[in-house]
A and B are shown apart, each in its own frame.
Chain A
Amino acid sequence: MVDSLLSIQALSKSFGGLRAVQNVSLEVPKGSLTALIGPNGAGKTTLFALMSGFLTPDSGAVRFDGHDITGRAPHLNARQGMTRTFQIVQPFATQTVRENIAVGAHLHLKDRRSALAQAEEVAARVGLSAQLDKPASDLTVAGRKRLELARALATRPRLLLLDEVLAGLNPQEIAEMIPVVRGIAQGGVTVLMIEHVMQAVMNLAEHVWVLAQGQLIAQGTPGVVTADEKVVEAYLGHGTAARLRAAAQAGAAA
């Protein structure tokens, strides 16, 4: 068994009558690049919030690097090396790109000048160098996604939870972003990403978990899960797999 950096056991969370996450367990190996996928409303972002401490689970446990961190505040988790990004980007809008990234860099650097200098290095890694002195509110969607990534990277995380960094980007922007994410993982950061863009998941992830209606329904390599009938049905509706199979057979017979 490989060393796991993050391990969650039987995690559940309900909001009133809605069981957003039910009895989910998974292990994220150290140094891996993995993905969490699933249809809209499956509970992926809730699961991220439970892992990073933004929400406290009703039951179950979260362990990070061997320590029980269930329900621990997000800023403490960030100090231990687990940082998340947000699906809906959350820039510090009144501040420049450089200042935004520097806030992340301050986690390890007290001195303002060193943090600002570090911000420049991180910006270069995600391709934001040209925008350093722009106000964050002036960035395009793609730029804001990069900023979200840069700010998290500046905290020097060991585990990076990326919540749909590719959503809302056009195909060219996605193609530009994929190597950035791969570069981060190759730099030694363990990455778990929520992603809808299958091209990216197939391209990047070593292992994929599929969440539907709060439950883990499949896991494995991207090839295995996309061929899984349960996964197809979760995305396209009950009975789809059978109809697709019938259509394929009819096509082959003809």
Chain B
Amino acid sequence: MRSSMKELVGIMVFVALVACVPLVTESGVLLNFVMMALYATLLAQAWNILGGFGGQFSFGHALFFGTGAYIQAIVQLQGGLNAWTALGLAVVGSAGVGVFVGALSFRYGLKGSYFALVTLAFAEVFRILALSVPFTGAGVGLMLPLQESFANMQFGSRKGYIYVVLGFVAAALLVTWWLKNSRFGAYLQAVRDNEDAARAIGVSPFGVKLGAIALSAGFMGAGGAFYVQVFQYIDPSIAYGAHTSVEALVAAIVGGLGTLWGPVLGAVVLHVLADITRNLFGELPGINMVIYGVVLVAIVMFMPRGIGGLRATVQSVWRGLRQKNGGRRG
């Protein structure tokens, strides 16, 4: 079987297995863990599209997350539309913000740390805007009234939410799979690896990067919309604060950039880690961020390809050692 088909089957098996979890357990702790891990997976996958496949490291993905969250809340509260319509608008709206920021940055060839800083600055600008304008509820934030129903996308238990977020994760996995098996994906990775070489053989870096940021921002916006549905509350620092940006990029980097399963692995591992530290250190605020930092440094130093690339890293180290020994013998 071709490897791309194997991956497709893998995605189906993964989604089917996770879909079974709510059927076999009633444990609130476990269901909550699965839901939050899937949610973190979604953010990591969203970031991976632009950061992993496109090589454009954004430090401000909260920009798209927050925009999705606010659209989700405002459309329901002020537009009076149902939650599913709001969700569609949230995804499209965040993607639109992505295209706007992307067009500005990529038009002027911003790369690397400059692009990272611009995204960070945009997230900050949006945070301050959200604090100042009335329709976001300013510093007080927005609260969704609790009304459990399918149309409101509010569920009595975590099970309903798990299926919603699993749907997004499945979509993100399929998009990632498509990136690995399509012209657009090949162009995106070519631009990441060497922009000039890509241009010389007919690739428009601007168009390709714009497409990637739209996709990435759309999924991030879905994550924001999902957050609002689960917690029924959003304020400027939750929406546009650095925490979400960091969570998305750390999970993607820890798991393995530009891979299909890396972000899934990274998100799950970090969530397990966060739960453990929370149990060990009580509710020390921010301790999980400290741990994230340490883990990120360790991963970047010792596993440049992330957990998902561990096998490849070990193989290349092993090859290197063997060559060295062979060289000594010869």
Contacts and interface: CB of A to CB of B under 8 A. Distances in A.
Interface of A: 52, 54, 73-75, 78-79, 83-86, 90-95, 99, 102-104, 106-107, 109-112, 115, 151-152, 154-155
Interface string B194-216: 10111111111100000000000
Contacts of A112: 181-183, 186
A106 to B, nearest CB: 5
B200 A85 contact: yes
B148 interface: no
Given A90-B194, A91-B194, A78 B200 contact: yes
5 contacts: A75-B198, A75-B200, A83-B200, A90-B197, A92-B190
Contact of A92 (B183, B194, B199, B202): B194
A95 B200 contact: no
Contact of A86 (B182, B187, B197): B197
Interface residues of B, number: 20
A102 B187 CA distance: 10
B51 to A, nearest CB: 14
A78 B198 CA distance: 10
A156 to B, nearest CB: 10
Given A106-B183, A106-B186, A115-B183, A151 B201 contact: yes
Contacts of B190: 92, 95, 103
A151 B258 CA distance: 22
A152 B201 contact: yes
A137 to B, nearest CB: 10
A115 B204 contact: no
Contacts, number: 80
Interface of B: 181-183, 186-187, 189-190, 193-194, 196-205, 258
Given A92-B193, A95-B193, A112-B183, A154 B200 contact: no
B201 A104 contact: yes
B182 A78 contact: no
A151 B190 CA distance: 12
A64 B39 CA distance: 52
B200 A84 contact: yes
Nearest to B4: A112
A68 to B, nearest CB: 20
Given A78-B200, A103-B198, A107-B201, 7 more contacts: A54-B199, A84-B200, A86-B197, A90-B196, A92-B189, A103-B186, A103-B201
Nearest to A106: B183
Given A94-B189, A94-B193, A95-B189, A73 B183 contact: no
A18 B204 CA distance: 30
A99 B180 CA distance: 11
Contacts of A92: 189-190, 193-194, 197-198
A75 B202 contact: yes
A67 B200 CA distance: 19
Contacts of A155: 201-202
Contacts of B205: 75
A59 B327 CA distance: 56
Nearest to B202: A78
A110 B183 contact: yes
A162 to B, nearest CB: 12
Contacts of A104: 201-202
B320 to A, nearest CB: 12
A95 B197 CA distance: 13
B43 to A, nearest CB: 24
Nearest to A74: B199
Contacts of A78: 199-202
A73 B199 contact: yes
B186 A115 contact: yes
Nearest to B257: A94
Contacts of B199: 54, 73-75, 78
CB-based closest 8 A-B pairs: A78-B202, A92-B193, A90-B197, A107-B202, A74-B199, A104-B201, A103-B190, A106-B183
B200 A103 contact: no
Nearest to A100: B190
Nearest to B208: A75
A39 to B, nearest CB: 25
